[in-house]
């Protein structure tokens, strides 16, 4: 008797193996391998063989003889989104927008859809999550009604594809990928096989008809797109929404971009009438008049823009095992800074709980805020307020040395604009500035300025 073929697939990354494993060897996730049914295995075989034999044989050419793609981008009607995308929407591109529930993904894309509809583009908004009536309500709030904006509440992929092929849409939003369902694939909506098939079909539509498609994807608690990582590999651009749903500010960060850099960040404000480009970031993330002990100010670069933010620390005596916890800042880095403070300044922090929070739901991704974190910790430990006129800037090394930061001139300019007068920085500024600069190249020296 022939042996029954078995195949297991990782629900996080799509890796396949003939044997079950507790931990996926490809993405290191635990307990994500599930057994595929014989129907699913047959489907996979069919699709892979049709992919390899269906296309014509193509020949390689010297790169010097190849013409570059002439990309003609168009504006999304939102300067912030255009910035993150690298200068506007690229026809035929597939963009994934991820973010936690309620952060504003549907709101932003409905607004963008209507912006484009108003510039005479025919736009399709596919919603598998909300009814047409619900979306209409939102459209009323956003002032997004337009004859060129078409709604399709549908979860069946083949209906969506036939709608797309029968009409000449110029922009499409899919809300959301996890809600769509392909009948051709014998697995549940949201599973790796489903998401892979649907994304592949959408990609084919986008590339062959030159229609830009924006896909909304839900994210899990750890911040990755729910379930399948495969999605991130397949699409051209991946953007993530960040921010605290309780505050009105939202950051849209580029994570992958085949048509531009990922260094820029879009900044939006949520209000009663939807999500708007934030006019000015200045002063949103700090309150100079109310600087308590445990708070320190610094300037971080969000893309090409400097933003002044407040970092907060709470140092309190520990009962039992000392806790270290941070929101918006790397916990390992916090551990390193605390160890350094113990060693260099002889602070008995091992018997204290330390909590760090970054205001406005911002996540700090650069080391230049180290010094401000240290200042905040010291301020909370001593229960003494820092001067609201002073900003702290510098990367701290394992040896306690304070390293230079990039874009110092730009950061100092922003401080000047915001009316600050003093800064503790790691190196002398090259350009003339009105800010009184204290140069500190060692952690122990910073204490002098506090």
Residues that bind Mg ion (CB under 5 A): 106
Cα–chain center distance at 302: 12
Task: Please report how close the Cβ of residue 174 comes to Mg ion at its closest, in angstroms.
Answer: 11
CA nearest neighbour of 185 among 382, 341, 47, 374: 47
Q: How far is the CB of 177 from ligand TYD (least distance, A)?
A: 13
Choice from 141, 204, 323, 384 touching ligand TYD (CB under 6 A) = 141
Element (H, E) at 82: helix 79-85
**Cα separation of 71 and 87, whole Å?**
11
- Least Å distance, CB 281 to ligand TYD, is 19
361 binds ligand TYD (CB under 6 A): no
Tokens coding 96:
């994934």
State yes or no: residue 276 binds ligand TYD (CB under 6 A). no
**DSSP helix/strand/coil, 433:** coil
The helix or strand, by DSSP H or E, that contains position 48, with its residue range, turns out to be helix 38-54
The mark string for 77-106 relative to ligand TYD (x by CB under 6 A, - otherwise) is: ----------------------x-xxxxxx
Q: Is 107 in the site for ligand TYD (CB under 6 A)?
A: yes
Within 90-234, where are the H helices?
Answer: 105-118, 132-142, 157-166, 192-209, 230-234
Candidate ranges 137-145, 147-155, 407-415, 425-433; the one touching ligand TYD (CB under 6 A): 137-145
| CB closest to Mg ion, residue no | 106
Smaller CB separation from ligand TYD, 107 or 197: 107
Phi and psi torsions of 209, nearest 5°: -100, 0
Query: Which value, in Å, is the radius of gyration of the alpha carbons in the chain?
Result: 26
User: Using CB under 6 A, which of 177, 270, 424, 443 touches ligand TYD?
Assistant: 270
Choose between 40 and 127: whose C-beta lies nearer to Mg ion.
127
Least Å distance, CB 23 to ligand TYD, is 32
| 34: its two tokens | 């599930």
| Least Cβ distance, residue 34 to ligand TYD (angstroms) | 27
Q: How far apart are CA 179 and CA 130, in angstroms?
A: 10
Within 309-404, residue ranges assigned H as helices are 331-345, 370-382
Minimum distance, C-beta of residue 216 to Mg ion, in the bound complex (Å): 6
Q: Is the dihedral of CA 89, 95, 100, 101 positive or negative?
A: positive
Q: Which one of Mg ion, ligand TYD, none interacts with residue 23, CB within 5 to 8 A by kind?
A: none
Residues 73, 118, 138, 333: which binds ligand TYD (CB under 6 A)? 138
Give contact residues for ligand TYD (rule: CB under 6 A): 99, 101-107, 138, 141-142, 270, 272-274
């Amino acid at each position: 008797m022939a042996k029954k073929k078995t195949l297991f697939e990782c629900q996080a990354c799509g890796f396949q193996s003939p044997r079950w494993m507790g931990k996926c060897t490809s993405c290191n996730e635990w307990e994500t391998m599930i057994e595929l049914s014989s129907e699913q295995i047959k489907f996979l075989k069919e699709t892979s063989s049709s992919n390899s034999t269906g296309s014509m044989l193509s020949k390689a050419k010297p790169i010097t003889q190849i013409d570059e793609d002439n990309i003609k981008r168009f504006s999304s009607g939102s300067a912030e989104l255009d910035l993150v995308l690298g200068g506007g929407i690229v026809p035929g591109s597939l963009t994934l927008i991820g973010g936690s529930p309620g952060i504003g993904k549907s709101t932003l894309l409905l607004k963008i859809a209507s912006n484009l509809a108003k510039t005479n583009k025919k736009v399709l908004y596919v919603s598998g999550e909300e009814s047409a009536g619900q979306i209409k309500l939102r459209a009323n709030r956003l002032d997004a009604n337009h004859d060129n904006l078409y709604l399709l509440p549908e979860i069946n992929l083949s209906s969506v594809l036939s709608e797309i092929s029968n009409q000449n849409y110029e922009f499409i939003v899919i809300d959301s990928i996890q809600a769509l369902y392909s009948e051709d694939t014998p697995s549940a909506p949201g599973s790796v096989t489903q998401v892979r098939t649907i994304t592949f079909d959408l990609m084919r539509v986008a590339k062959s008809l030159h229609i830009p498609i924006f896909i909304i994807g839900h994210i899990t608690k750890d911040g990755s797109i729910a379930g399948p990582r495969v999605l991130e590999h397949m699409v051209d651009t991946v953007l993530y929404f960040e921010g605290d749903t309780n505050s009105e500010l939202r950051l849209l960060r580029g994570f992958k971009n085949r048509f531009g850099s990922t260094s820029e960040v879009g900044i939006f404000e949520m209000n009663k009438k939807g999500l708007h480009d934030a006019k000015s970031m200045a002063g949103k993330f700090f309150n100079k008049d109310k600087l308590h002990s445990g708070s320190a100010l610094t300037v971080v670069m969000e893309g090409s823009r400097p933003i002044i933010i407040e970092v907060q620390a709470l140092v309190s005596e520990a009962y039992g095992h000392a806790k270290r916890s941070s929101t918006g800042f790397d916990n390992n880095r916090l551990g390193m800074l605390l160890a350094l403070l113990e060693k260099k300044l002889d602070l008995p922090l091992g018997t204290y709980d330390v909590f760090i929070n970054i205001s406005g739901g911002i996540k700090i991704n650069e080391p230049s805020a180290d010094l401000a974190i240290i200042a905040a910790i010291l301020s909370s430990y001593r229960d003494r307020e820092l001067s609201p006129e002073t900003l702290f800037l510098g990367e701290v090394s394992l040896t306690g040395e304070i390293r230079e930061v990039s874009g110092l001139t730009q950061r100092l300019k922003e401080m000047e604009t915001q009316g600050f007068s003093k800064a503790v920085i790691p190196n002398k500024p090259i350009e003339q500035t009105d800010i009184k600069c204290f140069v500190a190249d060692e952690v122990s020296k910073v204490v002098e300025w506090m």
